[in-house]
Amino acid sequence: MPATLLAMRLTKFVSPTLACLALAPLVARAELSAELLDLAGRVQYGYYQADARAIEAALVALDRLGDSPDAVYYRDFAALRLAQLGGRDGDERLSDCARREAPAELAGRAAAEAAVLAAACALVASDDRRFEQALARARALDDDHPRIALLEAWAIERTVARNPEARAEFEARLTAAVAAFDAWTPTIDDPEWGQAEALAALGESALARGDMRAARDLLERALLLAPDYSRAVALRTAVQGARGGSQRTL
């Protein structure tokens, strides 16, 4: 079985080596090299483990792989993940990612994926103008792309601390993202990041509301996709503690 086909049939992140199989190539052309697949998986595994050093090490290796669209995509993806963890080597790379235009040979869904990644980088870089521009490109190319709803939720999340009334809209966008991922039928060429993050964030909101059953179910779903996702693991522990406390009170 070709490596790219096998990659899309595995969704659990159980080790850096197996994790790489959950990321498919950006466009349908020659298969990704085993090295690139492995490094892409290490980036994702490092993010789920909150291990910035693992991402930095993968990024150093990615820099040696030239400037093919796939190598550029995963370098940008590594910059995004590193910045999301507060990594120290993210600012310039993140800005480059936010300014990135889709390669001319990409079209349709693949071009939308490139625009989504650029929008994510712009959002994390607090470049609102580029974020809106890239998100608009993604919508025009593939309005059903589930990571669009996730990015809309992330954008609202930044305002929740100073505007508690935005929390309802934040949860609504997360709910839309989860539903979009559930309805989405990815091809063998589609990267798969974002679904576990949407589930974990929605689970955290349910936990904050005191809806322990919904929180538990959402977090369990996130952990089925990414068993080593440290945020989801910590939230599940909090749910278990809260449920235990409620039972003792009763």
Domain CATH for 223: 1.25.40.10
Least confident interval from 14-28, 88-102, 192-206? 14-28
Q: What total number of domains does the chain contain?
A: 1
Whole-number percent of the chain with pLDDT over 70: 80
Q: Is pLDDT of 18 > 70?
A: no
Q: Which pLDDT score, from 0 to 100, does residue 159 have? A: 83
Half-sphere exposure of 221 (CA within 13 A, CB side): 21
Q: Helix 108-124 to helix 128-141 angle, to the nearest 10 degrees?
A: 160
pTM for the model: 0.80
**What would the two tokens of residue 64 be?**
């040696």
Q: Position of tokens 């470049």?
A: 127
Q: Which pLDDT score, from 0 to 100, does residue 196 have? A: 95
Q: Is pLDDT of 26 > 80?
A: no
Q: Which pLDDT score, from 0 to 100, does residue 21 have? A: 35
Half-sphere exposure of 91 (CA within 13 A, CB side): 1
Full residue range of the structural domain in which residue 135 is found: 3-249
Q: Is pLDDT of 241 > 70?
A: yes
Give CA torsion, residues 123, 228, 5, 179, to 10 deg. -60
Q: Per-residue b/e over 213-236, b at no fewer than 16 CB within 10 Å?
A: ebbbebbebbbebbebbebbbebb
Q: Which pLDDT score, from 0 to 100, does residue 209 have? A: 86
Q: Which pLDDT score, from 0 to 100, does residue 188 have? A: 64
Q: Position of tokens 């809209």?
A: 169
CA distance 164 to 159: 8
Rg (Cα) of the chain, in Å, rounded? 18
pLDDT band for position 158 (cuts 50, 70, 90) = confident
Q: Which pLDDT score, from 0 to 100, does residue 12 have? A: 40
Q: Are 94 and 83 contacting, i.e. CB atoms less than 8 angstroms apart?
A: yes
